[in-house]
Amino acid sequence: MNLTLKVWRQAHANDTGSIQTYDAKDIPEEASFLEMLDIVNERIILDGHDPIHFDHDCREGICGMCSLTINGVPHSKEKGITTCQVHMRKFRDGDTIWIEPFRAKAFPIVKDLMVDRSAFDRIIAAGGYIDVRTGSAPDANAVPIGKHDADASFDSAACIGCGACVAACKNASAMLFVGAKANHLNRLPQGHPEKDKRTLALVRQMDAEGFGNCTNQYECEAVCPKEISADVIAKLNRDYTAAAAREAVAD
């Protein structure tokens, strides 16, 4: 199939960047979206130009590294998949495809379609963990965890940290990411002792990183490749309010 690509090109972080047009000719239907970009890049390189840079690694939808938007939607409109799992048979011959980087102030562009998502790492560093020194853990079956809580925790733990939630949100809010991490750990008995501190620390670091606020539009859950529900945001709101109240008045 033949396609027209409108691709965001930006040489480096401080470059202004612009949309460039590329013809993608003779693309096999069986190719994946990123393989289509590989093919286009191969031709760009042979023409002596700089190929389109994009982040990618595992190409099986789990590492969370691929990060671009396809026609304005992170990881494409198809539900529950990452960019690397998009296949060209979903497009039609002659289509024009707009490919842009994730856009958020907290995710500065590195080059072309690559963005810097280290803000997520700093959020986790601020509180997204259970503090357990290696070797000090009790027996794994010492604390039974009801299946319901275990499953609910798991649903949140499925987050791959790709940042699509931020990219889809018109406010570039990281609430789904933070809510997922808070819900993953706060739900478990192991995470309980640090629950309040964790919740406060996660939210404060999120705010400090310059993410926007949730306005309850749920675009994040619609594009989440792991289909994490925006319920985790409600849960985070509740946990945060309780933690803030306890911080203010409790002993």
Partner 1 sequence: MSQETLVFRNECTNFAGNRFILHYFRFSPPIFLQKGIVLLKKPEMNALGKALIGFWESSIGKKLIVAVTGVMLVGFLIAHMVGNLLIFQGRESLNDYAYFLHHFLHGWGIWIFRLGLMGAFVLHIVATIALVRENRAARSSRYAYEATVQAPRSSRMMIFSGLTVLGFVVFHLLHFTVRVDPDLAAMKDPMDPSRHDVYGMVIAGFQNPLVVLFYIVAISFFCTHLNHGISSLFQTLGLRSEKTKWITGKIGLAVTVILWLGFISIPFLSSVNILKDKGVPEKSAAHSAVIEATTES
Partner 2 sequence: MAYDGSTTGSLAGTLESSIPDGPLADKWTNFKSTAKLINPANKRKYTIIVVGSGLAGGSAAATLSELGYQVKCFCYQDSPRRAHSIAAQGGINAAKNYQNDGDSVWRLFYDTIKGGDFRSREANVHRLAEVSVNIIDQCVAQGVPFAREYGGLLDNRSFGGAQVSRTFYARGQTGQQLLIGAYQALEKEIAKGGVTMYPRTEMLDLVKVDGHAKGIITRDLRTGEIESHAADCVILATGGYGNVFFLSTNAMGCNVMAAFRAHKRGAYMANPCYTQIHPTCIPVSGDYQSKLTLMSESLRNDGRIWAPKDAEVAKKIREGELTAKDVAEEDRDYYLERKYPSFGNLAPRDISSRSAKEVCDEGRGVAKTGLGVFLDFSDAIARLGEDTIRARYGNLFQMYEKITGDNPYKTPMMIYPAVHYTMGGLWVDYNLQSNVKGLHVLGEANFSDHGANRLGASALMQGLADGYFVIPATLPDYLVDQTPGAVTVDAPEFAEAEAQVKERIEKLLSIKGTKTVDSFHRELGLLIWDKCGMARTREGLEEALKRIPEIRKDFWENVKIPGTADGVNMELEKAGRVADFIDFAEVLCHDALNREESCGGHFREEYQFTKDDEAVQSGFTNEGEAKRRDDEFAYVAAWEYTEPGEEPILHKEKLVFENVKLSVRSYK
User: What does the binding site for partner 1 look like in residue numbers (CB under 8 A)?
Assistant: 6, 8, 13, 19, 69, 71-73, 77, 98, 100, 103-106, 116, 118, 122, 125-127, 131, 168-173, 194, 197-198, 200-201, 203-208, 210-219, 222-223, 229-231, 233-241, 244, 247-249
Where in 174-193 is the site for partner 2 (CB under 8 A)? Answer: 184-185, 188, 190-191
Query: Exactly one of 16, 92, 94, 144 binds partner 2 (CB under 8 A); which one?
Result: 144
User: CB-wise, 17 or 51, nearer to partner 1?
Assistant: 17
User: CB-wise, 55 or 100, nearer to partner 1?
Assistant: 100
Query: Exactly one of 2, 23, 42, 193 binds partner 2 (CB under 8 A); which one?
Result: 42
Residue 131 phi, psi dihedral angles, 5° rounding = -80, 95
User: CB-wise, 43 or 103, nearer to partner 1?
Assistant: 103
DSSP annotation string for 130-164: ----TT-PPPTTSS---HHHHHHHHHHHT-----H
The least CB distance from residue 71 to partner 2, in Å, is: 19
Cα Rg for the chain, rounded, in angstroms? Answer: 20
CA 207 – CA 123 distance, rounded (Å): 10
87 lies in the site for partner 2, by CB under 8 A:
yes
User: CB-wise, 87 or 217, nearer to partner 2?
Assistant: 87
CA 88 – CA 52 distance, rounded (Å): 18
93 lies in the site for partner 2, by CB under 8 A:
no
CA 105 – CA 238 distance, rounded (Å): 27
CA 163 – CA 16 distance, rounded (Å): 22
User: CB-wise, 189 or 213, nearer to partner 2?
Assistant: 189
β pairing state of 114-115 and 69-70: unpaired
The least CB distance from residue 231 to partner 2, in Å, is: 17
- Cα–Cα distance list, 198 to 121, 138, 161 (Å): 15, 22, 18
Query: Exactly one of 118, 213, 215, 241 binds partner 2 (CB under 8 A); which one?
Result: 118
12 lies in the site for partner 2, by CB under 8 A:
yes
User: CB-wise, 59 or 231, nearer to partner 1?
Assistant: 231
Residue 4 interacting partner from partner 2, partner 1, none (CB closer than 5 to 8 Å by kind) = none
Closest by CA position to 164, among listed 209, 237, 226, 234: 226
CA 82 – CA 41 distance, rounded (Å): 20
Where in 198-217 is the site for partner 2 (CB under 8 A)? Answer: none
